[in-house]
Homo-oligomer: A and B are copies of this chain.
C-alpha cells in the first residue's frame, strides 16, 4: 500500500537504487490509448542525472522498457509494467554509508522502522525511486492530454533566496519550452541566470540550495475532485509531500492568502459567454475540493539537498557520536530535476480523478430541472453550523 498511489488510475513503484532495476506498474489505464516507450522516455530524460553542469555528474541512461499492457501501439486496459535497468554501480566500498547515519537523510529512520536497509546509494530512499513515478506520470499525462486536453506545466520559482516575481498571467501562459530554455528551469531568464550562478557557487562550496516549484494545470473541466477526504487539493498535497525533500504545499493564494480579508480574497463569479468564470483565482481552481474550470495551480517547497561535501556531526549504527565527511558527486540543488517529478505526480492525481468523475457522470440520473424563476427571493437563514 505504501508503494501504491491512486484509486482508479493506480501506480505501484518498486526498486532500490543499486539493485538490478527499478520500475512501476500502472493499473487502471483505460484501453485504446496510443502509447509507446517514446511517450515516456522524454519525461525520464528531463529527470535524469547528468543533464547539465548544475546537476549531479553521474550519468544514467534511464532507458524505460514497456513489458506489458500495450499491444500494437495501444493500451490494453491491463497493467502496464515499466522497467528501468540500473547502471553498473561502481564496486566502491559502502562502509561509511553502512555505519554512519547521514544527517537529514532517511538512513536512521529506515533502520528504526525496518531494522535493516539497503545502504548502497540510499536504497529505496534514493530519489532514484521517482524515475518510476515519472514514467507512470507520462502515461497519465498522455491520457489527460488525449482525453481531456489537460496541460500541466511546472517551473522553478525560487532557488535559495532568489524568487521569481510572480505574475498571475504566468499561470496561464508559461510553456514547457519557456521552462526548458535554461538549465535551472525558471522561465524568468534574468532570475534564472542568478539562480544558476547561486547553484554553481553552492556546489563549489560543497553546499546545497532548496527552493520552490510552481505548477499550473490548465484545462480541467468543472467537477473533478471529491468532497471531504479526497478533495483534489488534498490528493495533490499528499502527492507533493510524498516527494523526497519536499516540506510544503500550498494551493491558490496559499499561506500568503492568510494576510487578506474575506472581501479581498473571495473570487467573484461572472459569466464569460456561456461559461461560469471567476474574476480572480485565489482559490487555485478548486472550491470545496472540486475544480471550477479555472487553472489549478500550486507551489511545492523543497529543502536544500541533505547531501553536502563537508564534514558533519552525526551518530553511527553503534549509537555513538561520530563524524561524516561528504565525498563524491551530488546534486547541489534538486529543483531543476524535480520539475518533471512534480508534473508527473500532478498528472497521476488528475488522471485518477478524471476516471473517478467519469464513473459518476456515466451513471448519474437525468438532469434536475432548475428552480422556477417566479419565486421571490427571501432572507437567508441560519441553523446548524
Contacts and interface: CB of A to CB of B under 8 A. Distances in A.
B379 A93 contact: yes
A220 B72 CA distance: 30
Interface string A276-289: 10110011101111
Given A16-B68, A17-B385, 4 more contacts: A12-B12, A16-B78, A25-B25, A71-B116
A269 B103 contact: yes
B261 A109 contact: no
Interface in A239-291: 239-242, 244, 246-255, 257-271, 274, 276, 278-279, 282-284, 286-291
A56 B375 CA distance: 29
A4 interface: yes
11 contacts: A1-B8, A2-B230, A31-B360, A71-B116, A71-B117, A97-B380, A160-B261, A207-B262, A237-B240, A244-B288, A270-B314
The 4 closest A-B pairs by CB, nearest first: A106-B288, A92-B381, A32-B365, A93-B378
A223 interface: yes
A214 interface: no
Contact of A247 (B87, B92, B254): B254
Contact of A103 (B255, B268, B360): B268
Nearest to A310: B263
A70 B24 CA distance: 17
Contacts of A377: 93, 95-96, 99
